[in-house]
Structure 1
Amino acid sequence: MSRSVRRAPAVAVLLVLALTACDGGVRGTPGGSGVRDPYFPKAGNGGYDVGHYDLTLDYTPATRHLTGTAVITARATQDLSAFDLDLAGLHVDSVTVEGRPALFARAGQELTVRPHDDLSEGETFRTTVRYSGTPRTLTDPDGSKEGWLPTADGALGLGEPVGSMAWFPGNDHPSDKASYDLTVTVPQGLQAVSNGELADRSTKGGRTTYHWHTAEPMASYLATVAIGHFDITRTTGPHGLPILTAVDPTQAKARAKVLAQLPGIIKWEELNFGPYPFSSTGAVVDRPGDAGYALETQNRPVFPADQFETGTLVHELAHQWYGDSVTPKSWQDMWLNEGFATYAEWLWQEDHGGDSAQQTFMDLYKGDNEAIWAYPPAKPSSAAHISDSPVYQRGAMVLQKIRQKVGDDTFYDIIQGWAATHRHGSASTADFTAYVERKAPDKDFTGIWKDWLYGDAKPAHP
């Protein structure tokens, strides 16, 4: 039996009684458990919008024990008698809402909270959850690992698509973005690196505390913490942009050449995609195998060292515009992340002596990789396939088709304008197609949308 459900039965009875009371002035209704995402229906929650997470973590790698306090500031979007938070595993020690003890119950990843007093639509409220235990490593539908990944000298917290709930409670869906403060205490000698900027560091009693602040809105799946031994370097990029890199000391020498390209890549991406959308950038490079993939965590992407090469760095930094700043409204819109970042790799090759984007497009079209045509990029076949090649390569092919249709000048206006128009927001595929049509009203995109974006089979003509 999981420690996280030990209190659930008794509390659940009280909570059900409270929620089903006919009298006693109950005004609100419970918020939804999940936002009905097409691929992860239990992800996220209804009835409120989070503005800020203040997370305080204490972690000891030797015992893999985590103690956490999450202070979540949110605004009710309806009259609420109860609301849910996403939390997988861990033991909830207490919950308060506006400083008063709240009833709570556990059911799977749902932490249902019944505040002492109902919340009114438009009301800003603060929920504090104290929790502890051994955080889980979750297995995605595609078999990859996320959540809390123990490493040789620490741990990695990685959240795409729903792994953040393994180490902090929240509204774990990309449609709800918030600012963050993340304070992490670890044994002295280890570092803790996260998103945003380092606001404070102190050591006391053999333990060191790092406080990271992320001012710009961030989706929960982009939050990260990397605990371990790192060589940390601070430099600057274009127009004085702060760059912080954290590299496992065993990998620093071998990865130095690629790391040196980071400022130049940011400068090139600004020329193509518009102003960099955040207040700092960088990278976290851990040992080979610590994660099975690179991830575009906000401000500084995370890379296993064996995947840290120029093309992947271009890809993950491009996500800072497409995916991090402009975040998908649902996981069905994943191609708006991966198609754009893949196309950034094509453009980089085109501008640095490699094949043109059109040649890459034609090679894929004429090639024998039938997996590209398995499903349309805007409608993956299932949750297990949202990170398959149609979302990446065929998603990039959609962008090349738009470029063919409108020409370079209008195409760059579109991709830069898209990033600017939805900066720090969330957007859907329908938002994108409508935006393209507004930017090029004299062009007919019906065939591109029908055959390339939503079509089930390989289009008859490139």
Structure 2
Amino acid sequence: MRIGPAAVLAVALTLGACSADSEAKPAKSARSYDFRPGAPGAGDPYFPTYGNGGYDVAGYDLDVRYDPKKGDLTGKATITATATQDLSQFDLDLAHLKASAVTVNGTPATSKAAGNELVITPAKGLPKGEGFTVVVDYGGTPGQLANKTLGEGGWLRTADGAIALGQPESASTWYPVNDHPSDKATFKLAMTVPDGLTALSIGVPGERTSAGGWTTWRWTESSPLASYLSTVVIGKYRVETGTHDGKPMVTAVPESLPANGPAAKSVARTGEITDFLATKFGPYPFDAYGGIVVDDNRIRYALETQSRPTYGQGFFAEENPVVVAHELAHQWFGDSVALERWQDIWLNEGFATYAEWLWQEHAGGPSVADSFTSMYNGYDWSQAPGDPGVAHLFGSAVYDRGGMTVYALRKTIGDAAFDRLLTTWTSQYRDGNATTADMISLAEKVSGQNLDEFFQAWLYGTKAPPKP
């Protein structure tokens, strides 16, 4: 077709405009991706294979059914997360149980079991910074995780139910999880058990429903938690419910223990003890209170499961509010402010031991100074709490020398600075993670002192530091 002069001019003007627009708005280049598998561990110096890399979990939403007679568990886990790298494949921790179906963003994904890992390959890569949702249908016969040094933890079958509990890992024995404290996430549980049994967990209790001989108990913990701080306890329990400071209070004692015995009396003081600790550590950080006592001789410890600590009945030969104070102190030190790595566990246990001394003084027992002096005199200083090693992760240095370190810090920087340190720490790192380096930095900031020599002597030295 022949083009006349006017048309030629119009085309020229149009081309000129397009050329100018192209210069003003250069075309964006497509992003290049580097899709690769996430690491099969979080890289903790003590436990390199615990947890996983490549993503950050925001929340777990679990729908689980347990048959105590058969010992069988089935579940559906909905996990929301964000990719922290271009992700072609990622792992979830899942021990003893098998996945029957996995989807990522609603699309079927490939999965395989590799030891205690569930290796998931999505249908397409997950770009860094993008959120995604994983749904895992799974089931089997849950059990314990064996640790040659620290013993067993995880799902423990009982005569009438089960107890899921343990530190440093336990969650992977009953749901797919990134099982390391560095990846905190919210937690929802719908636990279905036969009628007549109780299913206790953490957080705020929800609606309870029954159908066909089964009852579903619902619990929601909206504050992010380290996965080992989740639990479920199934059995025949006396449950006391109420409110404290406008929040739900749930305490439970097995029917096998006296209704008004020392265990029940001890956990009944949860609100009173929490209120006292809040005057030292700042506002209580969670939406619910409580405590669970378990009557099983295989559990000889207490654990600071978030918002509702769990206690072995062996602590309650007589009324024992001191252990309650210890576990409630962890709600600030260890739960709300969680570990970034297991090496720094003195941050949990040292402050909880110090809280025991505070409570004893408050209740008319020995002063904090006397408790410190009694511990200091004749103490074996060969073990240091700052880097205790796996074999001494729960050793006396972490607890006792950790507690002495806290008190010595108070005496070194003075009560006013120490009080600011506690409340600043629990507010600044609330719902997050922190390290020993963070504690040293904050202590120096609030006190205006160089504390390198102090912390080196108290956390890492093998000789008695000078008594403050």
**Is the shorter-chain TM-score for this pair beyond 0.5, marking a shared fold?**
yes
**Cα distance change, pair 436–31 in 1 and its aligned pair in 2 (3 A):** same
Matching of residues 282-321 of structure 1 within 5 Å: 282-289=290-297, 291-308=299-316, 309-321=320-332
Q: Of 35, 59, 78, which residue of structure 2 is paired with 1:52?
A: 59
The correspondence of residues 258-273 of structure 1 with structure 2, limited to 5 A, is 258-273=266-281
TM-score between the two structures when normalised by the length of structure 1: 0.90
Tell me, yes or no, if the aligned pair for 2:111 and 2:118 is still in contact at 8 Å. Answer: yes
Deviations 1:177-200 (A, max 9, x none): 111111111011001011111122
Distance 1:339 1:115 in 2: 43
Q: Provide the rounded CA distance (Å) in 1 between the counterparts of 2:452 and 2:80.
A: 43
- Give 1:32-431 correspondences, 5 Å limit: 32-237=39-244, 239-251=245-257, 252-254=259-261, 255-289=263-297, 291-308=299-316, 309-367=320-378, 369-370=379-380, 373-381=381-389, 383-431=390-438
CA shift, 1:391, in A, is 0.6
Q: Distance in 2 between matches of 1:222 and 1:342?
A: 19
| CA RMSD between the two structures | 1.6
Which of residues 436, 455, 458 is equivalent to 1:452?
Answer: 458
Structure 2 gap segments, 5+ residues each: 1-31
Deviation at 1:222?
Answer: 0.4
**Number of aligned positions between the proteins:** 432
String of CA shifts for 1:40-92, please: whole Å, max 9, x gaps. 11011111000010111110111111111111110001111111111111122
Question: 1-side partners of 2:346 and 2:62: how far apart?
Answer: 30
Note the C-alpha offset of 1:141: 4.0
Contact (CA 8 Å) 2:270, 2:289: kept in 1 or not?
no
| TM-score (norm. length: structure 2) | 0.89
- Give the aligned partner of residue 21 of structure 1: none
Q: Structure 1 segments of 4 or more deviating over 4 A?
A: none
Which position in structure 1 is the counterpart of 2:22? none
Structure-1 separation of matches of 2:152 and 2:328 = 22
Secondary structure of the corresponding residue to residue 260 of structure 2: helix
Q: Would the alpha carbon gap of residues 388 and 236 (structure 1) be closer, same or farther in structure 2, given more than 3 Å must change?
A: same
Structure number with greater Rg is 2
Do the aligned partners of residues 234 and 450 (structure 1) sit closer, same or farther apart at CA in structure 2, a change above 3 Å counting?
same
Q: Distance in 2 between matches of 1:97 and 1:260?
A: 44
Distance 2:33 2:212 in 1: 48
User: Is contact 1:398–1:448 with CA below 8 Å preserved after alignment?
Assistant: no
Q: Equivalent residue of 2:145, what SS?
A: strand
Corresponding position of 2:16: none
Looking at structure 1, the residues matched to 198 and 102 of structure 2 have their Cα atoms a distance apart, in angstroms, of 29
Contact 2:33 2:86 in 1 (8 A): no
Contact 1:159–1:223 (CA under 8 A) maintained in structure 2? no
CA distance in 2, matches of 1:415, 1:79: 39
Distance 2:298 2:235 in 1: 11
SS of 2:126's equivalent?
Answer: coil
Distance across 1 between alignment mates of 2:242 and 2:103: 42
Decide which moves more: 104-113 or 51-60: 104-113
1:5 corresponds to which residue? none
Query: Cα gap change, 1:317/1:100 in structure 2, threshold over 3 Å: closer, same or farther?
Result: same
Distance 1:236 1:388 in 2: 36
